Structure 1
Amino acid sequence: MKTYKISICLFIIYIFFPKDLFNQFKYGPIINKEPGKVFVNDIVLNANPDFDPLNVKEVMFKAPTLEHPYYHLIVPVKDFTGGKPVISSVLINGELPDFYFTYVNGQLHVENWLAQKATTIKNIVIVMKYTWHNNQKYKIEIKLRAPKVFDPESEKDYLEETTTHNVISPGKGGAPDNWKYSIMIVLQEEYGLKRIAEPVDLALCIKQSRVKNLKKEVRVMEYNPATQKFNEIPSQTYGFQTYSGRGLKQGRLHEPSYSCRVVFLADVLCCSKKMYAIVYGNPEASVPQYTSDLQIKGSGPGAVIENEYWKVKLHEKSGQIHYYRLKKTDGKNIPDYSNTTSGSVHWNPDTYGENGSWGHTFSWNPPENIYEVARGPLMYKITRSGRMPGNPEVFTSVTYTFFAGSPYILMSSIMEITHPYAASAIRNGEMVFDADIFDHYAWKAKNGERRFLRTLLNPDEGFDAPAMIPIDTPWLCLYNSQGKYAMGAIHLNVYNFNKIDGVSATYRPKFFLYCHPQWGRPLTYFVRTLVYPFGYNFRGPAMYIPAGNVYVEQGAYFPFLLGKKDPFEPIEILNDKLKHPLEIRYGN
Structure 2
Amino acid sequence: MKYFLYITLVVLTSVSLSATSQAKEKQGKLTVESMKLGYPVPAIPFYHFIAQLNLPEASIIEVEAAVNGKPMRFVNLYKGDLHEELDKPALTHRPPSGYALSQDNTLYKQPVITGWMKWNPGESYEITLTLRVKKSARPSDDDTFLTATQIVKAPEQAKIFDSAWKNYKSIVLSETAGIDREKEPVEVLLPFYPDEANDLKREIRVLEVDPENFALTEVPCQVFDIQQYTVEDDLEPEKEGQAKRHIPLWMPTVTCKLAFLANVPAKSSKVYLVYYNNEKALAKTWQTDLRVQGELPGLRIDNDYFNAVLHPNSGHLDQLTLKSKPEAPLFHRMETNGAIHWNPGIYVPPRAWTHTADWKHDQNMYSISGPVLATAEFWGNLRDMPEVDASVRYTFYPGVPYFESTTNMRINETVQTIALRNAEIVFKRELMTHAAWYDVIRDEVITYNVANMADLTDLKMEADVPWITFYNENTGIGFAGIQLDYANASLESRSRLLNPYFYITAGPWIYWARALSLSFLGSNMQQVIPAMKGSLFTEKWAYLVYETDKETPYREVLNWQKKLTQPLRVQLVEEVDERVSRSLVEIYMDEGKSGWEERETGKHK
Q: 1:550 aligns with which of 536, 544, 566?
A: 536
Aligned ranges 1:279-318 → 2 under 5 Å: 279-318=275-314
1:89-137: per-residue Cα shift (whole Å, max 9, x none)? 65657877563223589799956588869x9x99776421234332446
How far apart in 1 are the matches of 2:132 and 2:424? Answer: 65
Equivalence for 2:363: 368
Equivalence for 1:354: 349
Q: Alpha-carbon deviation of 1:391?
A: 1.6
How far apart in 2 are the matches of 1:116 and 1:494? Answer: 44
Q: Alpha-carbon deviation of 1:418?
A: 0.4
1:208-261: per-residue Cα shift (whole Å, max 9, x none)? 454422212221122113212111111112122234453799979834333222
1:267-317: per-residue Cα shift (whole Å, max 9, x none)? 333333333222223332122200000000123201110101111111111
Q: Alpha-carbon deviation of 1:72?
A: 1.5
Equivalence for 1:200: 186
Is the 8 Å Cα contact of residues 430 and 451 (structure 2) preserved in structure 1?
no
Residue 437, structure 1, aligned to residue 448, structure 2: no
Q: Alpha-carbon deviation of 1:406?
A: 1.2
Residue 171, structure 1, aligned to residue 156, structure 2: yes
Equivalence for 1:228: 214
Equivalence for 1:36: none
Identity among equivalent pairs (%): 28
Residue 514, structure 1, aligned to residue 509, structure 2: no
Question: Against the structure 1 CA distance between its residues 84 and 467, is the aligned structure 2 distance closer, same or farther, given a 3 Å change threshold?
Answer: closer
Residue 580, structure 1, aligned to residue 572, structure 2: no
Q: Alpha-carbon deviation of 1:323?
A: 0.8
Question: Against the structure 1 CA distance between its residues 217 and 527, is the aligned structure 2 distance closer, same or farther, given a 3 Å change threshold?
Answer: same
Q: Secondary structure at the match of 1:571?
A: helix
Aligned ranges 1:352-501 → 2 under 5 Å: 352-372=347-367, 374-446=368-440, 447-455=442-450, 464-501=456-493
Residue 130, structure 1, aligned to residue 117, structure 2: yes
Equivalence for 2:583: none
Q: Alpha-carbon deviation of 1:70?
A: 2.6
One-letter identity of the residue aligned with 2:529: M
Residue 344, structure 1, aligned to residue 336, structure 2: no
Q: Alpha-carbon deviation of 1:141?
A: 6.8
Q: Secondary structure at the match of 1:514?
A: strand
Residue 525, structure 1, aligned to residue 493, structure 2: no
Q: Alpha-carbon deviation of 1:337?
A: 2.9
How far apart in 1 are the matches of 2:129 and 2:217? Answer: 35
Equivalence for 2:271: 275
CA RMSD of aligned residues (A): 3.9
Aligned ranges 1:49-60 → 2 under 5 Å: 55-56=31-32, 59-60=35-36
1:564-588: per-residue Cα shift (whole Å, max 9, x none)? 3321111110111111112234455
Question: Against the structure 1 CA distance between its residues 482 and 289, is the aligned structure 2 distance closer, same or farther, given a 3 Å change threshold?
Answer: same
Q: Alpha-carbon deviation of 1:338?
A: 3.6
One-letter identity of the residue aligned with 2:160: A
Q: How many residues are aligned here? A: 518
Q: Secondary structure at the match of 1:215?
A: helix
Larger mean CA deviation between 70-79 and 463-472 belongs to 70-79
Q: Secondary structure at the match of 1:191?
A: coil
How far apart in 2 are the matches of 1:417 and 1:545? Answer: 7
One-letter identity of the residue aligned with 2:74: F
Q: 1:319 aligns with which of 312, 315, 321?
A: 315
Q: Alpha-carbon deviation of 1:73?
A: 1.6
Residue 217, structure 1, aligned to residue 188, structure 2: no
How far apart in 1 are the matches of 2:365 and 2:525? Answer: 36
Is the 8 Å Cα contact of residues 40 and 271 (structure 2) preserved in structure 1?
no
Question: Against the structure 1 CA distance between its residues 239 and 97, is the aligned structure 2 distance closer, same or farther, given a 3 Å change threshold?
Answer: farther
1:489-527: per-residue Cα shift (whole Å, max 9, x none)? 1111111010235x32211212221111xxxxx211111
Is the 8 Å Cα contact of residues 458 and 466 (structure 1) preserved in structure 2?
no
Q: Secondary structure at the match of 1:572?
A: helix
Is the 8 Å Cα contact of residues 412 and 533 (structure 2) preserved in structure 1?
yes
1:423-469: per-residue Cα shift (whole Å, max 9, x none)? 1111111111111111222212125412122326867xxx8133121
Higher relative contact order (CA 8 A, sep 6+): 2
Question: Against the structure 1 CA distance between its residues 240 and 106, is the aligned structure 2 distance closer, same or farther, given a 3 Å change threshold?
Answer: same
One-letter identity of the residue aligned with 2:548: L
**Structure 2 unaligned residues grouped into runs of 5+:** 1-28, 83-91, 236-244, 575-605
How far apart in 1 are the matches of 2:461 and 2:267? Answer: 34
How far apart in 2 are the matches of 1:207 and 1:377? Answer: 26
How far apart in 1 are the matches of 2:501 and 2:477? Answer: 26
Equivalence for 1:32: none
Question: Against the structure 1 CA distance between its residues 568 and 78, is the aligned structure 2 distance closer, same or farther, given a 3 Å change threshold?
Answer: closer
Question: Against the structure 1 CA distance between its residues 253 and 337, is the aligned structure 2 distance closer, same or farther, given a 3 Å change threshold?
Answer: farther
One-letter identity of the residue aligned with 1:100: V
Q: Alpha-carbon deviation of 1:360?
A: 1.0
**Structure 1 unaligned residues grouped into runs of 5+:** 1-52, 517-521
Q: Alpha-carbon deviation of 1:343?
A: 3.1
How far apart in 2 are the matches of 1:151 and 1:508? Answer: 59
Q: Secondary structure at the match of 1:216?
A: helix
Q: Secondary structure at the match of 2:357?
A: helix
TM-score, normalization by structure 2: 0.75
TM-score, normalization by structure 1: 0.77
Residue 258, structure 1, aligned to residue 254, structure 2: yes
Question: Against the structure 1 CA distance between its residues 157 and 452, is the aligned structure 2 distance closer, same or farther, given a 3 Å change threshold?
Answer: closer
